[in-house]
Chains A and B, each alone.
Chain A
Amino acid sequence: MTLKNKFLNIYANLPLSLRKETIIVFNKEPLTWNAVYVEVFNNAKNSEKILKKLEELKII
């Protein structure tokens, strides 16, 4: 399973209120589950780096 798929599966199962929680600080910017979703959904240029960092932190 790709990191993108792993992230999307976890995200889909998250209670709505928890999606507003910060899960990563990327380039000094805090990103919530929702913010990461937007990056990943759009295959934005940093999405792969963000997903790799989430994997290193064992969050996905």
Chain B
Amino acid sequence: MTEMLITRPEHDKTTHYLSNWSKEIIDIAEDKNIKVFDLNREKAIRTNVEVRLRKLSCNLTFFNGHGNFNIITGHNNEPIIIGGENENLLKSKIVYAISCKSAKELGPRSVNAGAVSYTGFDDDFIFIYEPENISRPLHDNTAKLFLGPSQPFMKSLIKGNSVREGIDKTKKLLTDNFLKALNDNDRDSAKYLWWDLKHFVSHGNLDAKLQ
């Protein structure tokens, strides 16, 4: 049975948005009989992540949160994956990390340590949102331009497609939203969508699929 680990801290507005926009992936995965370990809010801490990664026979991890070039963080910005300390726990896993900058150094390190692939951002992930929708992030049509594209990668993998196909779908949606923003004279959204598209990268075996 395929198993998936997802981290969803929610300690600030950014992680609140990321958490809500990634929740749908849990439902989709469970519909496909994937066992999901959801480390939400204060559960998104290093000890829990390490325990799950050591136990999991799977293959799929989805990190939401902040980060830096060599770390992914969880609840209250506590590091949960640190290059040079525990990236070996990502061995044999397909990793997707909406965690700023981590694909720059932690990504290649993880692949060197045996991760199948690591997809994410090699610089800051940026999005615009509507403060009046903070309590209903899924109704935020501005944030949707940025966070909608965070879903196709996982949806595509769960359906049995390769990492490469997931990347292509994500890039297509980011590009489509960029063009839509230009057409709507939303130049600020266009600018930051361009930034996110530019910094969306992947390392490792792009032909890999979930077994």
- A interface residues, Cβ below 8 angstroms from B: 15, 17-18, 20-21
Question: B194 → chain A, closest Cβ, in Å?
Answer: 11
Q: How many residues belonging to B are interface residues under a CB distance threshold of 8 Å?
A: 5
Question: In the complex, what residues of A have CB within 8 A of residue B185's CB?
Answer: 17, 20
Residues of B contacting A18 in the complex (Cβ-Cβ under 8 angstroms): 182, 187, 190
Q: What is the interface of chain A mostly: helix, strand, loop, or mixed? A: helix
- B130: shortest Cβ distance to chain A, in Å? 20
> A34 CA to B49 CA in the complex, in Å?
53
Cβ of B183 under 8 Å from chain A? yes
CB distance from B190 to the nearest CB of A (A): 8
The 8 closest A-B pairs by CB, nearest first: A17-B185, A15-B182, A17-B182, A17-B187, A21-B187, A18-B187, A18-B182, A17-B183
Contacts of B183 in A (CB 8 A): 17
12 contacts between A and B (CB under 8 A): A15-B182, A17-B182, A17-B183, A17-B185, A17-B187, A17-B190, A18-B182, A18-B187, A18-B190, A20-B185, A20-B187, A21-B187
Bits for B179-211, please: 1 = Cβ < 8 Å to A, else 0. Answer: 000110101001000000000000000000000
A18 to B182, CA, bound (A): 7
For A21, the chain B residues whose CB sits under 8 A away are 187
In whole angstroms, how far apart are the Cα atoms of A20 and B183 in the complex? 13
B190 / chain A contacts, CB cutoff of 8 Å: 17-18
Residues of A with C-beta under 8 A to B182: 15, 17-18
Complex Cα gap A21–B183 (Å): 14
